[in-house]
């Protein structure tokens, strides 16, 4: 039974697919749309409600598709528009919604808009990007830095001006203050909405509009920025990030989505350490981004105290009536099972599936995939090549489907674009699907339980109070049912006092399920449980 009184995306579980790495149907070693289609039965079996597919558009692949050369087509490496339509129809046939990546901040240098813009200072599209004369000393116009290291300005010798790029020089930033850019990019959204997509994940949502005067950023006194630091972390991003003018833009974008039938949804990528800045993207009337991604669990060390701070900080900052989102990892972050340790993978999954808010599972996390190191010589990620140590290749390794030589990712004689994990023969979907005690089986049962249990799907979040070091607990409460979620984030046993009497509904260790508990709840090492109140009807 699905919980129906809420919007579909509130009770949904989203699954992120990095298309290069998921499933390769044509044997070139790179995943594709037909590959995704061939694995839809798996996703339906797992029970996910929606997939978000990272970019598959034509692109020179300087940033593996986040440098888009044509927003309204499919890169031949991934297939064709007809393949996309077939995938969409097949997903919808299994009641799986499809979200695509919307990359508004920048295009590729090869996008015809930029080619025209760069052609001359008088080009009709010159102002579609941010071009500026050099500073008086001949250097870049201001002190902004690229997220991927180095200045955020690239000198163009032909027209003797700099252009702005917050990421690679191959990713020039669009100028959203130009109404023609906004109109063209809204048309891009219409193109996919008209094709039937259920919504968008918005790439770097808060960067799209910058200070119109392009003022210098001040230094960051604490250098406590999020993510992988470098020069980026040494500035306070007052003028190139989270500009107040973004809000009007997202209100219009929301109106565009809401003008379509079928509850189309926007999920914004919102990396900001400040809870209030993040929460502002819901909009004062909750009329902006439906679900701004919240990455606080990915920034936190995996300790009970930090997890509690993240969860309760997000819950506290969430505007009244707004709907949270949760994520443990994605294609830009080290794998959860590497960060927290394999023994904690199930604890993390149980937390993700029991928090209030839409969870997004990064492909492979449901089988506990870990980072696969790639040596400097074979690094593919441009960030790694510009700033060694920051590379994202390890978390993008091919999906581990089965114990065949290429783990079922590609054909036997193909060379996967990134190396397969050495443990793929034992850690894979086929093996774990047959093992009732596997992480995959637990994930599947958690997804099912979340769907059918009102307290877990849409119930309120209620704090539990202090718990012993290394443990964390919270409550989820709906009209006719309530649960306690209790987690041990350490490898030592712990006992949590004051737990409502009830029975273990699900746990990382199946042997506990059905057990009557109450009062002092003993948790073994790396164990987490959901206890349903006795009084629950
Ligand atoms: C987002 C994407 C990341 C990409 C960057 C630039 O952060 O998730 O993969 O490199 O934007 O588009």
Which residue's CA is the nearest one to ligand 1's atom 3? 332
Residue 205, SS3 per DSSP: helix
* Contact criterion met (CB below 8 Å) for 53 and 92: no
DSSP state of 64: T
Task: Look up the pTM and report it.
Answer: 0.97
- For 110-121, the DSSP string reads TSHHHHHHHH-T
488 within 8 A of 526, measured Cβ to Cβ: yes
List, as one string, the DSSP characters of 257-299: HHTSSS--EEEE----S-HHHHHHTT-TTS-S-SEE---HHHH
Q: Split the chain (537 residues) into runs of 10 and give each run's mean pLDDT.
A: 68 97 98 98 98 98 98 98 98 98 98 98 98 96 95 98 98 98 98 98 97 96 63 91 96 98 97 89 96 93 97 94 95 97 98 98 98 94 90 97 97 97 98 98 98 93 97 96 98 98 98 97 98 81
Neighbours of 509 (CB within 10 A): 17
Strand order in the sheet with 482-488: 460-463, 471-477, 482-488, 528-533, 494-507, 516-523
Q: In this predicted structure, what is the pLDDT of residue 535?
A: 79
DSSP per residue, 75-89: -TTT--HHHHHHHHH
Pocket test for ligand 1, best of 332, 333, 380, 395 (most atoms within 8 A of CB): 332
> What domains can you pick out in the chain, each with its CATH number?
15-104+179-209+245-444 (3.20.20.80), 112-164 (3.90.400.10), 460-533 (2.60.40.1180)
pLDDT value at residue 5: 59
pLDDT value for 513: 97
Spatial contact of 99 and 47, defined as CB atoms under 8 Å apart: no
**Strand pairing class (494-507; 482-488):** unpaired
Which atom number of ligand 1 is nearest to the Cα of residue 392? 9
Atom number of ligand 1 nearest to Cα 67: 12
pLDDT at 321: 86
State the catalytic residues.
Answer: 203, 269
Residue (of 447, 472, 456, 164) closest to 308 by Cα position: 472
Q: Closest ligand 1 atom, CA of 66?
A: 12
Model pLDDT, residue 226: 46
Residue nearest to atom 7 of ligand 1 (CA): 204
Pocket test for ligand 1, best of 106, 203, 386 (most atoms within 8 A of CB): 203
What are the pocket residues of ligand 1 if the criterion is a CB atom closer than 6 Å to any ligand atom?
63, 66, 103, 167, 203-204, 269, 331-332
Quote the ligand 1 centre to 295 CA distance (angstroms). Answer: 14
Helix (H, G, I), strand (E, B) or coil at 462: strand
Taking the mean position of all CA atoms in its chain, how far away is CA 458? 21
Q: How many Å lie between the centroid of ligand 1 and the Cα of residue 66?
A: 6
- Which residue is closest in CA terms to ligand 1's atom 2? 203
204 Cα to the center of ligand 1, angstroms:
7
Helix (H) or strand (E) holding 91: helix 81-93
């Amino acid at each position: 039974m699905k919980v129906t009184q809420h919007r579909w995306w509130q009770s949904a579980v989203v699954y992120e697919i990095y298309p290069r790495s998921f499933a390769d149907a044509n044997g070139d070693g790179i995943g594709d749309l037909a590959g995704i289609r061939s694995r839809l039965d798996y996703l339906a079996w797992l029970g996910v409600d929606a997939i978000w597919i990272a970019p598959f558009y034509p692109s020179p692949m300087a940033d593996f598709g986040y440098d888009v050369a044509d927003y309204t087509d499919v890169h031949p490496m991934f297939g064709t528009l007809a393949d996309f339509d077939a995938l969409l129809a097949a997903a919808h046939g299994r009641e799986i919604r499809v979200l695509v990546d919307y990359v508004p901040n920048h295009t590729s240098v090869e996008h015809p808009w930029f080619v025209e813009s760069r052609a001359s200072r008088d080009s009709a599209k010159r102002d579609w990007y941010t071009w500026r004369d050099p500073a008086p000393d001949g250097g870049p116009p201001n002190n902004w830095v690229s997220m991927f290291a180095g200045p955020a300005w690239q000198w163009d010798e032909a027209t003797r001006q700099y252009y702005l790029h917050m990421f690679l020089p191959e990713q020039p930033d669009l100028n959203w203050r130009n109404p023609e850019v906004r109109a063209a990019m809204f048309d891009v959204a219409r193109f996919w909405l008209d094709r039937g997509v259920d919504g968008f994940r918005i790439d770097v949502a808060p960067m799209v509009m910058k200070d119109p005067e392009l003022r210098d950023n001040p230094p960051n006194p604490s250098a406590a920025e999020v993510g992988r630091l470098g020069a980026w972390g040494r500035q306070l991003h007052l003028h190139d990030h989270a500009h107040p003018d973004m809000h009007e833009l997202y209100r219009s974008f929301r109106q565009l989505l809401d003008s379509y039938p079928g509850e189309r949804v926007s999920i914004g990528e919102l990396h900001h350490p400040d809870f209030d800045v993040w929460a502002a993207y819901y909009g004062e009337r909750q009329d902006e981004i439906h679900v701004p991604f919240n990455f606080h669990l990915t920034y936190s060390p995996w300790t009970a105290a930090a997890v509690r701070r993240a969860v309760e900080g997000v819950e506290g900052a969430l505007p009244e009536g707004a709907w949270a989102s949760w994520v443990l990892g994605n294609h830009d972050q080290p794998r959860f099972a590497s960060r927290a340790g394999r023994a904690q993978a199930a604890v993390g999954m149980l937390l993700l599936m029991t928090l209030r808010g839409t969870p997004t599972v990064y492909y492979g996390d449901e089988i506990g995939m870990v980072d696969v190191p790639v040596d400097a010589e074979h690094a593919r990620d441009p960030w790694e090549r510009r700033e060694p140590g920051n590379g994202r290749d390890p978390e993008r390794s091919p999906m581990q489907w089965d114990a065949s030589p290429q783990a079922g990712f590609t054909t036997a004689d193909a060379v996967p674009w990134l190396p397969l994990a050495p443990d793929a023969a034992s850690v894979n979907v086929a093996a774990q699907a047959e093992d009732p005690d596997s992480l995959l089986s637990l994930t599947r049962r958690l997804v099912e339980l979340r769907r059918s249990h009102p307290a877990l799907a849409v119930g309120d979040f209620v704090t539990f109070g202090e718990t012993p070091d290394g443990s964390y607990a919270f409550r989820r409460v709906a009209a006719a049912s309530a649960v306690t979620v209790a987690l041990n984030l350490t490898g030592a046993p712990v006992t949590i006092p004051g737990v409502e009497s009830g029975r273990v509904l699900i746990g990382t260790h199946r042997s506990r399920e059905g057990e009557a508990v109450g009062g002092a709840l003993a948790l073994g090492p790396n164990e987490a449980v959901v206890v349903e109140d006795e009084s629950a009807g």
